[in-house]
């Protein structure tokens, strides 16, 4: 492949620092680095100095704060669908990849680059997510995936390469035994003792939350306000999408909310055991389902529940920019027009307990729902309703009797 300039998704860590140098040497090309701040909680500016030390020009170093765009244009649309993969995973890593790939392609256009590169391995889902994003936005872009080309397939080999090429890698402190990925929605843990699904995670693995046992002994009440399916206020105070998620993370972390330990089916075929902390997202999901419970028509709500697994799989597998995902999104967004109101919740030792919901668009009608005397519902009408729904059973039952004679 003849490559003149490549845009690398760059964190400044061991893997991507080695990749940067490897790209320069292997392809004899210029490298443009792109570092996305999506709320991972790490200092992203250090990536600038590391890139400069490896010969990247100032004008080719991009460090972008994408937190608001991430929550507004990716997390919120996904949560309108109550999206979970295989019943438990809130897709924290999956939903970040299309935004990163989109920005990489934009930077490739700005810098006249003819290729993009990422640090995902050949075993995981992220290689698929990144590359489907690239090709969905620019079908002519060239893609370099070093983990599918080189033989640097261990940490020791990467360290040896770094030392022999003058790449500064900090060895201070104890390296985590886990592979971790973080953004404003979640933090994930894989590898180490987690590779045996029978092993319980060590308590000091968890970075973002109290254990439920150590959470406060007193419950805390919060209210979240929705407009068209998106949270716009916490306790009556209007906040930006990223600020809302960050604030919900604080509540969830404090009260031990959002830990999950799952074995999931990767797109590439094998099962993978992962642990996730998604504190704010877990609260968001509970609250959203609560406000929908009084604002959505029954069949609309059931239809959403039926299509959600398909929508979740599209995001998990990397098809965010596909026409089918966009079609489903249009349906989901249409369903949210009346999903407005306030949900009150009690947070206590890992639990989110919905204690109230209110909406000007509520379909909950006390006159019809009451267990007391009413003047709007004739209970005798239920007899015909039941008989009509049982008609096929009645016909089949008579037919069975006839066959036995």
Output the tens digit of pLDDT for each of the chain's 405 residues.
799 999 999 998 889 999 999 999 999 999 999 999 999 988 899 999 999 999 999 999 999 999 999 999 999 999 999 999 999 999 999 999 999 999 999 999 999 999 999 999 998 899 999 999 999 999 999 999 999 999 998 878 998 999 999 887 765 555 677 889 999 999 999 999 999 999 999 999 999 899 999 999 999 999 999 999 999 999 999 999 999 999 999 999 999 999 999 999 999 999 999 999 999 999 999 999 999 999 999 999 999 999 999 999 999 999 999 999 999 999 999 999 999 999 999 999 999 999 999 999 999 988 777 778 888 888 888 899 999 999 999 999 999 888 887
Residue 87 lies in a domain: no
Check whether residue 147 and residue 241 sit in a common domain: no
Strand (E) or helix (H) holding 135:
helix 126-137
Residue 378 lies in a domain: yes
Q: How far, in Å, CA of 99 to CA of 122, rounded? A: 21
Rounded CA Rg of the chain: 26
Distances (CA, A) of 250 to 65, 245, 282, 283: 20, 9, 12, 11
Check whether residue 194 and residue 244 sit in a common domain: yes
The rounded Cα 7 to chain-centroid distance in angstroms is 24
- Please say which residue of 164, 188, 215 terminates a domain: 164
CA angle 327, 330, 333 (to 5 degrees): 150
pLDDT given at position 351? 98
Q: How far, in Å, CA of 273 to CA of 138, rounded? A: 33
Catalytic residue among 15, 37, 94, 129: 15
Q: The domain spanning residue 220 has which CATH number?
A: 3.90.1260.10
pLDDT given at position 311? 98
- Catalytic site residue 181? no
The 10 Å CB-count burial string (b at 16+, else e) for 73-88 is ebbbbbbbbbbbbeee
Residue 97 lies in a domain: yes
Question: Contact 300/335 with Cβ under 8 angstroms?
Answer: yes
CB-count burial class (<10 Å; 0-12, 13-18, 19+) for 397: exposed
Structure-token match 């206590």, residue found: 348
Q: How far, in Å, CA of 33 to CA of 51, rounded? A: 7
Domain extent at residue 33: 5-67+93-164
Check whether residue 28 and residue 152 sit in a common domain: yes
Catalytic residue among 97, 103, 129, 357: 97
Query: Given the DSSP bridges, would you call strands 115-117 and 142-144 parallel, antiparallel or unpaired?
Result: parallel
pLDDT given at position 42? 85
Q: The domain spanning residue 54 has which CATH number?
A: 3.40.50.620
For residue 221, the SS3 value is strand
Residue 251 lies in a domain: yes
Question: Contact 189/180 with Cβ under 8 angstroms?
Answer: yes
Residue 344 lies in a domain: yes
Question: Contact 248/284 with Cβ under 8 angstroms?
Answer: yes
Residue 63 lies in a domain: yes
- Catalytic site residue 362? no
Q: How far, in Å, CA of 220 to CA of 206, rounded? A: 22
Q: How far, in Å, CA of 367 to CA of 369, rounded? A: 6
Domains identified in the chain, total number = 3
Q: How far, in Å, CA of 304 to CA of 404, rounded? A: 44
Check whether residue 211 and residue 345 sit in a common domain: yes
pLDDT given at position 170? 64
Catalytic residue among 94, 101, 113, 126: 126
Catalytic residue among 64, 72, 114, 179: 179
Q: In this structure, what DSSP letter does residue 195 have?
A: G
- Catalytic site residue 217? no
Q: How far, in Å, CA of 221 to CA of 380, rounded? A: 42
Check whether residue 138 and residue 223 sit in a common domain: no
pLDDT given at position 375? 82
Beta strand extents in 228-292 (DSSP E only): 230-234, 237-238, 259-265, 271-277
Residue 353 lies in a domain: yes
Check whether residue 274 and residue 347 sit in a common domain: yes
Residue 72 lies in a domain: no
Distances (CA, A) of 60 to 32, 97, 272: 5, 21, 36
- Catalytic site residue 196? no
Nearby residues of 386 by Cβ (< 8 Å), 6 or more positions away:
none
């Amino acid at each position: 492949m003849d490559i003149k300039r490549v845009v690398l998704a760059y964190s400044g860590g061991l893997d991507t620092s080695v990749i940067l140098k490897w790209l320069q040497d292997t392809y004899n090309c210029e490298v443009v680095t792109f570092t996305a701040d999506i709320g991972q909680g790490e200092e992203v500016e250090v990536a600038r100095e590391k890139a400069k030390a490896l010969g990247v020009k100032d004008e080719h170093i991009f460090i972008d704060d994408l937190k608001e765009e991430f929550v507004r244009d990716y997390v919120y649309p996904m949560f309108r669908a109550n999206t979970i993969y295989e019943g438990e995973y809130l897709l924290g890593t999956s939903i970040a990849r299309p935004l990163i790939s989109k920005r990489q392609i934009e930077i490739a256009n700005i810098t006249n680059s003819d290729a993009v590169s990422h640090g995902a391995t050949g075993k995981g889902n992220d290689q698929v997510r990144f590359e489907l994003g690239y090709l969905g936005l620019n079908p002519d872009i060239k893609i370099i995936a070093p983990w599918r080309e080189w033989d640097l397939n261990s940490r020791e080999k990467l360290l040896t390469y770094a030392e022999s090429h003058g790449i500064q890698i900090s060895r201070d402190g104890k390296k985590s035994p886990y592979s971790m990925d973080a953004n404003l929605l979640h933090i994930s843990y894989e590898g180490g003792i987690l590779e045996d699904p029978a092993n319980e995670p060590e308590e000091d693995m968890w970075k973002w939350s109290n254990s439920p046992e150590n959470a406060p002994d007193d419950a805390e009440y919060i209210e979240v306000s929705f407009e068209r399916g998106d949270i716009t206020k916490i306790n009556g105070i209007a906040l930006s999408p990223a600020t809302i998620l960050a604030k919900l993370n604080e509540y969830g972390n404090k009260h031990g909310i959002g830990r999950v330990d799952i074995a999931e089916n990767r797109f590439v075929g094998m099962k993978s055991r992962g642990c996730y902390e998604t504190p704010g997202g877990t609260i968001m999901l509970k609250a959203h389902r609560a406000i929908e419970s009084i604002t959505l028509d029954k069949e609309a709500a059931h239809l959403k529940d039926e299509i959600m697994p398909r929508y979740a799989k599209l995001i998990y597998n990397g098809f965010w920019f596909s026409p089918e995902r966009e079609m489903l999104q249009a349906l989901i967004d249409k369903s949210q027009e009346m999903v407005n109101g306030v949900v009150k919740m009690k947070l206590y030792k890992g639990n989110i307990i919905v204690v109230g919901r209110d909406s000007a668009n509520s379909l909950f009608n006390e006159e019809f729902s009451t267990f007391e005397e009413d003047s709007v519902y004739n209970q005798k009408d239920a007899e015909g309703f039941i008989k009509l729904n049982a008609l096929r059973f009645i016909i089949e039952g008579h037919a069975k009797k006839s066959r036995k004679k």
